[in-house]
Amino acid sequence: MRNNTLSKFIISVTFLSLLSSGVYAQKPTAKTFLEIGMTNSENAEYSEAIDEFKHAIKLKPNYSEAYYQLGLAYFNLHRYDEALESYKKAVKLNSKHADAHFALGIITSMLSEYDASIKAFKKVIKLKPKHTNAHYSLANVYYEMENYADASDAYEMAIKNRPKYAEARYQLGLCYMQLSRQFMASASKEHSSLKKLDKDLAKDLMKKIKGR
């Protein structure tokens, strides 16, 4: 509690010093409030961050980045409905905001809105084809939907971008097991790769393979 109070005091003093020194001789801009809010978020002061991001949006209603950061702050407070609306607003204002699309994909998958989640992750991949986490997260959604064919394709893309991605190799092995017996050799191959990356995951995958 003491650290939070001290942090707020330092931010306030810094802000007032900047005003008095003439750095912000004019009225604070939306960017000013955005940067203060991001500092709050870095210090896990999410409620304070929300207030700053709202100030930024009030000054600049089409500020996509402020909506995105607002969504992150809400998310960290487990206020998921508000986070969802903030992310939606962010991508509406800037359709090329890959991070906002990714965040939208994560939260919609958590809320079991799988179609929206798939759409969001595919948008990220369109903007950034080598976004490994987008491929992996997309695969997880497909796996949750028991669409193992598309899940395996997405896991393979994640591994192509990051060959030592142990979790993706583990999940791909599980996918192969779900597809049919003809893919068991492929599952075993992923086990061999996993032994060099994560012995615990490799052990668990082999246990599942043997249990088939």
Domain coordinates in residue numbering, the chain: 19-111, 129-212
CATH number of 19-111: 1.25.40.10
pLDDT class of 201 with cuts at 50, 70, 90: very high
pLDDT class of 183 with cuts at 50, 70, 90: confident
- What digits encode the pLDDT tens for the residues 62-93? 999 999 999 999 999 999 999 999 999 999 99
- What digits encode the pLDDT tens for the residues 10-21? 555 455 555 544
Q: Do domains 19-111 and 129-212 have the same CATH topology?
A: yes
Is the distance from CB of 145 to CB of 138 less than 8 angstroms? Answer: no
Does pTM surpass 0.85?
A: no
3-state helix, strand, coil in the chain (%, to 5): 80, 0, 20
Whole-angstrom CA distances from 29 to 59, 118, 158 are: 7, 36, 40
DSSP category for residue 211: T
Architecture of the CATH domain 129-212:
Alpha Horseshoe (1.25)
Minimum mean pLDDT among 63-72, 96-105, 186-195: which range?
186-195
Minimum mean pLDDT among 25-29, 74-78, 98-102: which range?
25-29
Per-residue model confidence (pLDDT) at position 186 = 82
Taking the CA atoms of residue 97, residue 100, residue 101 and residue 103 in that order, the dihedral angle to the nearest 10 degrees is 160
Q: Mean pLDDT score of the chain, rounded to an integer?
A: 89
- What digits encode the pLDDT tens for the residues 124-160? 999 999 999 999 999 999 999 999 999 999 999 999 9
Per-residue model confidence (pLDDT) at position 18 = 52
Residues in the chain: 212
Long-range contacts of 89-95, Cβ-Cβ distance < 8 Å, separation of 24 or more = 89/64, 90/64, 90/65, 91/64, 91/120, 91/123, 93/62, 93/63, 93/64, 93/67, 94/64, 94/65, 95/123
Per-residue model confidence (pLDDT) at position 21 = 47
Per-residue model confidence (pLDDT) at position 173 = 93
